[in-house]
A and B are shown apart, each in its own frame.
Chain A
Amino acid sequence: MAFTFAAFCYMLALLLTAALIFFAIWHIIAFDELKTDYKNPIDQCNTLNPLVLPEYLIHVFFCVMFLCATEWLTLGLNIPLLAYHIWRYMSRPVMSGPGLYDPTTIMNADILAYCQKEGWCKLAFYLLSFFYYLYGMIYVLVSS
C-alpha cells in the first residue's frame, strides 16, 4: 500500500467533486426560484454567471490531473462532460462578461426547463462520480 500520484488525484477529485455538487445544487435552487417567481431574472443571472467558469475550470483541472496520472478509464468517463462544457460555452448567447445565462431569455419556458434538467443531470453525474472516485482511491491505495 503506497500513496501514489493517482491516489492523490483521486483524493483531490473527491474534494473537488464535493464542491461541484454544491455548484449543481446551487444552480437547481436558483432556477427553481426563478420558476416560482421569487427572484428577478437579472439578479439571478448576475449571481449565477460568475459561477459557471469556475465550475468548468475545476472539472478541467482534475481531468488534466487524471491525464497526468494516466487514469484512462476515469478520464474517458469525464470526457463527455468536458466536451459538453466546451460545446455549451461555445454556443452561449452574445455576452460581454463571463457566464452562460442571459436574463432576457432565461424566462423562456424551454430554456428554463433545459437549465433545470441540466442541473439535475449534473448533480446525478457528480454524485455518481463522487462514489466512483472514492472507490478508485481505495482501489489504487490497496492495489499498489
Chain B
Amino acid sequence: ALFISFNISAKCSYRFNNANIKINIYLPILIWWLIYRESLMHIISGHNMTHRDLCGDSSSTTTDSASPVPNSYESLEGGGYSGTSLRSPPAGVPAKQAPPFGYNYPTMHPAYQQNPAPKPNPSPSHGGYNPPGYQPYSQPFPSLSELSSALGGLGGVSELEAETLRPVNLLQERNILPPKRAPPPEPNLSNDLRKVNCSPDTFRCTLTNIPQTQALLNKARLPLGLLLHPFRDLTQLPVITSNTIVRCRSCRTYINPFVSFLDQRRWKCNLCYRVNDVPDEFMYNPVTRSYGEPHKRPEVQNSTVEFIASSDYMLRPPQPAVYLFLLDVSHNAVESGYLNVFCQSLLDNLEKLPGDTRTHIGFVTFDSTVHFYNLQEGLSQPQMLVVSDIDDVFIPTHDSLLVNLKESKELVKDLLNALPGMFTHTRETQSALGPALQAAYKLMSPTGGRVTVFQTQLPTLGAGLLQSREDPNLRSSTKNVLHLGPATDFYKKLALDCSGQQIGVDLFLLSSQYSDLASLACVSKYSAGSVFYYPSFHHIHNTAQKQKFQKDLQRYLTRKIGFEAVMRIRCTKGLSIHTFHGNFFVRSTDLLSLANVNPDSGFAVQMSIEESLADTSLACFQAALLYTSSKGKRRIRVHTLCLPVVSQLSEVFAGADIQAISCLLANMAIDRSISSSLSDARDALVNAVVDCLTAYRANGSNIQPSGLIAPAALRLFPLYVLALLKQKALRTGTSTRLDERVFSMCELKSQPLQQIMRMVHPDLYRIDNMTEQAALHLNDSVIPQPPLLQLTAEKLTREGAFLLDCGSVMYLWVGKCCNETFIRDVLGFQNYASLPSNMTEIPELQTTYSERTRAFISWLLESRTFLPAFHVVKDDASTKTSFFQHLVEDRTESAFSYYEFLLHIQQQMSK
C-alpha cells in the first residue's frame, strides 16, 4: 500500500504540473483512477509473470479480465503489458528521469529470483556462474561481447562515407543516374555484423545511420522509418523447431544475432538491455551437434529465422486453409467475360492451392440476389441456393457451402465448368455486393480464411450501395481532387469485423466504369487483403488486360498464404513507432493484426526517437510475424535489423537510403492527400526536398554558394520526388480517372519497395544494340547488360528500340526507323509498317538476337512474382502517350521538367 501511494503522489504531481491545473476537489477522482490503473496493471503483470514462471517462455494464453477481447492474438505474440510499460513510458514523462514503474520491478524481481538456480556449469573449464560476483566472460565470445563497440573503423568504410557525402551540384550534373540500379547503402558496421544483418530486400531503414536524438533527426529533415517485406518468398530460411523459443523476459524480443552473451549462461537483450538466462535446451546446438555453444545456434547466426511455434502461441487449434470465392455474375460481369478466365484458371490451379487435407473451398455468386452452392460430397451435381432477401441476408444451410476440397473435388470441378455458362443470358444489371460480403462474413466467421471478391461495377443494391461520385470533367483539373476517401464506412466496418474473425478479403475489380474503388478498397485495406484492378477489362477487346489477369491469377492462387497472423515490430529502447502504412488493422502501438498475410505485400513504418540513444552505438529493429501456415502449423518468422547510431549530421546524410526515403514519403503523401488534400500532399513532397537540401547547405561550410548542392547519397532525391509528383496517384493537370488514381495510391501503400521504385521511376534500356560487353554469364546463357537511361525523350532515337520496365507493365517502344534486323529477328515482322499496334508479347524466335533479348527480359523478371503486362508500342500509335507519360524528366503541359523542378527548388530554398 505504501508503494502505491508513493506512485500516486509522484504521478499526480507530474500530471498536474503538466496541465497547469490547481486541483483540490478532483483529487479523489484521479486517485480513484490511478488506483484503478495500478491495480489493473498489477493484475496484468502479475498474471503474466506467473504464467511465464510456469511455462518458462510463453505468455498469457488464457483470456483474463485484463484482456477484454477474448480472441486476442496480442497476448499470443507476447510482449504487450509489462514489456511496453518498461519500454515506452507514457507520453510526456520527462524521458530521462522516467523511473521504471514501481509495480513492475517488484513483481519482476521475485519472479526472476524464483527461477531455479542455474545448474552447475557442465563445462567446468568455463568457470561456472556465480550470482554475487560473476567474472565477465569475454574470452570465448570476443565478437559478441564486444558487439556494441564493434563499429566499423575500417579504412574502406570511411572512404565510402566520403563518397556518399561528396557534394554534387545538381544543376550541372546532367547524367545523374547510375548505369545500373544502385544497391541500397551498406550500414557502417563491422564485417561480422554486416554479414549477419537482415537482407535489405526484407528490411530496410530510410537512414542507415540512426541519428542519436530527435533533435538531430529534425535537423536533417529526413524521415526516419522502416520498409518491410516480411513474408517475402525466400529461397533459404532456417526453420527452427525447439520446445522453448528464447525470448527476452521483459520486452519479449526473440534472441537474435545482435544480442550479447555475458557468459555462457546469460545473454543481454539488445533492445531493452535486460540480462536473461540462457535455457538449458539452448546450450545444445542441433546444427553442429555440440553442447555449450549458445552463440553458434542458428537463431544467433541468422537474422531471418522461422520458428515452429508450440501451443503456447495458439488461441485455438490452427485453422485450416479456407478459400471462398465471391463472384459477380451480373450482366456487366458476364459481358466482360472474366468468369471464363477465372474458372479456367482455378481449374488449372486447383491442385496447387496452398493447403493440406483440411482445405475448404466455397463459392458464392451474386447479382441482385445472392446465390450459394451446395457442394456436399455425394450429390450428383452442385446445388444452387438463391437468397433473394438481401436486406437481411442469411445462410441457407450451414454445413455444405464450404466443403473439403479433397472430398468434393469432382463437384467443385463440375461447378467451375458449369459456372461460365450458367449466367450467359442474364438480364440482371444490379449488383448486391454489400449483402454478398455480409453473407461471406457469416459463412467464414467460424473458421476464418480468405475471401476473394470479383466485382465489375458499382454496388447498387442493399447495404453498402454506392453512388457515382466522379465528375469526368474534373479528371484533369489542377485544383483539388475530391472523393479520395470512402463514401461510406460500411466496407471499413465489415473489414474490421472480418479482421476480428481472421478473414482476409482480396478484391479484384474489373470494370470499365467508375466503381468507387476509394470505398471498395477499404474492405481489403483493413482486413490485410490485396487489391487488384483491371481497368476496361474485356476478354476479347482487351487482350493485354486479359493476359495480365490470367498471369496474376496464376500467381495469386498458388502463392503462399499465412492465416490468423499478427506482426509486432520492436525496436531499441528510445525509438518508438509513429505510424504504420500498408494493409492491416493496427491493434496496438506496435502490433498489426493481419487476417491473411501474403508474400507480395510490403509495409512501411514511421519512427520517432523518444529518448536519446547516446548511450548505445547500435540500434536494432525486430519484426516478428506469427502466422498459421496453409499446412496448419503455427510459425513465427523473425527478422532483425541492426544499424549504427551516429551523432553527426553529416553521418546522417551519408547514410541516407534515397529509395527507402522516397517510398516512405510516398506513403506519407498519400495519407496526407486523403486526410487533407492532394495539393497539400504535393506541397509537402516538394518541401521535403527543399528542407533537406537547405539543412545540408546550412550544415556544410566549405560549399560554394551558387548552384543546388546535394550530398551524393541524396542526389537522386529531387528526381524521385519529381517522379512521385507525376505518378497517377499524385499528379494533377493530366487526365486521370479517379479509380486509377485510387488504385495507384493503394499500390504505393501496399507494395514492397522494389516494386514501388520500378513504378515510380521505371527503368529505360536501349535494347536494339545490346552487345556482349559487360554481359552477365549465368548457366550458359549470356545476359547483356545495357546501361540505364534517363527518363527523357532526349534519350530516345528513331533508330532504336527501347524497353521501359515499370514493374507491373513493360513497354517496348519501337522507333520509326528502327533497324529492320531487330524487327525481323526479335519481333518476327518484316518491317516497321507491318508491325501490328497491339502486340503483347515477344515471339520465341530461334535467332541469337531474339534469344539475347529474351534472356535479358527474363532476367529482369527473374525475381518478380507478378509478371508484368507487355506492350509493344509503335512510335505513331495512339498508345504511345501511355509510354511517354513515364518519361518523368520531360516537361508536360502541367508539370515541370527535371531542370525546371531543380530551379523551382532552388528558388524555394532562397526564400
Contact = CB atoms under 8 A, between A and B. Distances in A.
Contact of A127 (B21, B69, B587, B589): B21
A120 B490 CA distance: 32
A93 to B, nearest CB: 8
A38 B81 contact: yes
A20 to B, nearest CB: 12
Interface string B487-526: 1111011001000100000000000000000000000001
B160 interface: no
B84 A120 contact: no
Contact of B90 (A21, A35, A42): A35
Interface stretch (B25-33, B278-286, B691-699): B25-33
A23 B523 CA distance: 33
Contact of B69 (A40, A93, A102, A124): A40
A38 to B, nearest CB: 7
B488 A43 contact: no
Contacts of A73: none
B19 interface: yes
Nearest to B593: A40
B578 A41 contact: no
A94 interface: yes
Contact of B21 (A103, A116, A123): A123
B878 interface: no
Contacts of A42: 496, 500
Contact of B486 (A94, A103, A120): A94
A144 interface: no
Contacts, number: 89
B68 A40 contact: yes
A41 B585 CA distance: 10
Contacts of A32: 90
A46 to B, nearest CB: 11
B115 interface: no
Given A94-B489, A104-B586, A36 B579 contact: no
A94 B68 contact: no
Contacts of A123: 19, 21
A127 B26 contact: yes
A36 B580 CA distance: 17
B29 A25 contact: yes
Interface string B72-98: 101000001100110000110000000
A74 B74 CA distance: 48
Nearest to B576: A109
A143 interface: no
Nearest to B493: A96
Nearest to B592: A107
B587 A41 contact: yes
Nearest to A21: B26
B589 A104 contact: no
Task: State which size class the interface on B falls in.
Answer: 35 or more
Contacts of B29: 22, 25
B488 A96 contact: yes
Nearest to B34: A29
Contacts of B490: 96
Interface string B348-364: 00000000000000000
The residue in B66, B74, B492 that gathers the most chain A C-beta atoms within 10 A of its C-beta is B492
A38 B40 contact: yes
A25 B33 contact: yes
Given A94-B488, A104-B585, A109 B40 contact: no
Task: State which size class the interface on A falls in.
Answer: 20 to 34
Contacts of B292: none
B577 interface: yes
B586 A107 contact: yes
A109 B214 CA distance: 15
The residue in A21, A35, A96, A104 that gathers the most chain B C-beta atoms within 10 A of its C-beta is A104
Interface string A74-118: 000000000000000000011110000011100111100100100
Contacts of A120: 18-19
B906 interface: no
B526 A104 contact: yes
A37 B68 contact: no
Q: DSSP class of B's interface residues: helix, strand, loop or mixed?
A: mixed
Contacts of A95: 489
Q: DSSP class of A's interface residues: helix, strand, loop or mixed?
A: helix
Given A42-B496, A103-B496, A109-B578, A37 B26 contact: no
Nearest to A32: B90
B485 interface: yes
A29 B26 CA distance: 14
Contact of B91 (A94, A96, A116, A124): A116
A116 B490 CA distance: 28
A124 B23 CA distance: 10
B69 A37 contact: no
Interface in A1-51: 21-22, 25, 29, 32, 34-43
A96 B33 contact: no
A92 to B, nearest CB: 11
B608 A109 contact: yes
A43 B69 contact: yes
A96 B588 CA distance: 24
Contacts of A107: 580, 586-589
A93 B486 CA distance: 9
Contact of B33 (A29, A34, A41): A29
B487 A109 contact: no
Contacts of B23: 127
A25 B30 contact: yes
Contact of A104 (B492, B500, B578): B492
A59 B486 CA distance: 31
Given A25-B30, A37-B84, A43-B68, A124 B20 contact: yes
Nearest to B92: A116
Contact of A38 (B18, B26, B66, B608): B66
Nearest to A127: B21
Nearest to B20: A124
A94 B487 contact: yes
B90 A37 contact: no
A37 B81 contact: yes
A124 B21 CA distance: 6
Interface in B28-52: 29-30, 33, 37, 40, 44
B491 to A, nearest CB: 10
Contacts of A104: 492, 496, 526, 585-586
B671 to A, nearest CB: 8
The residue in A21, A37, A42, A102 that gathers the most chain B C-beta atoms within 10 A of its C-beta is A37
A32 B84 CA distance: 13
Given A25-B29, A25-B33, A96-B490, A35 B21 contact: no
The residue in B29, B493, B608 that gathers the most chain A C-beta atoms within 10 A of its C-beta is B493
Nearest to B607: A109
A102 B489 CA distance: 10
The residue in B19, B85, B488 that gathers the most chain A C-beta atoms within 10 A of its C-beta is B19
Contacts of A37: 74, 80-81, 84, 588-589, 591
Nearest to B675: A105
Interface string B572-599: 0000111110000111110100000000
Contacts of A108: 578-579, 586
Contacts of A96: 488-490, 493
A36 B103 CA distance: 15
Contacts of A116: 91
B59 to A, nearest CB: 13
Contacts of B68: 39-40, 43
A36 B33 contact: no
Given A29-B37, A96-B489, A107-B586, 13 more contacts: A25-B26, A37-B588, A40-B68, A40-B588, A41-B586, A94-B489, A95-B489, A96-B493, A107-B588, A108-B586, A109-B608, A120-B19, A123-B21
9 contacts: A40-B68, A94-B485, A96-B490, A107-B580, A108-B579, A109-B589, A109-B608, A120-B18, A124-B19
Interface pairs A-B: 10 shortest CB-CB: A107-B586, A109-B578, A37-B588, A40-B69, A37-B84, A120-B19, A37-B80, A108-B579, A95-B489, A94-B489
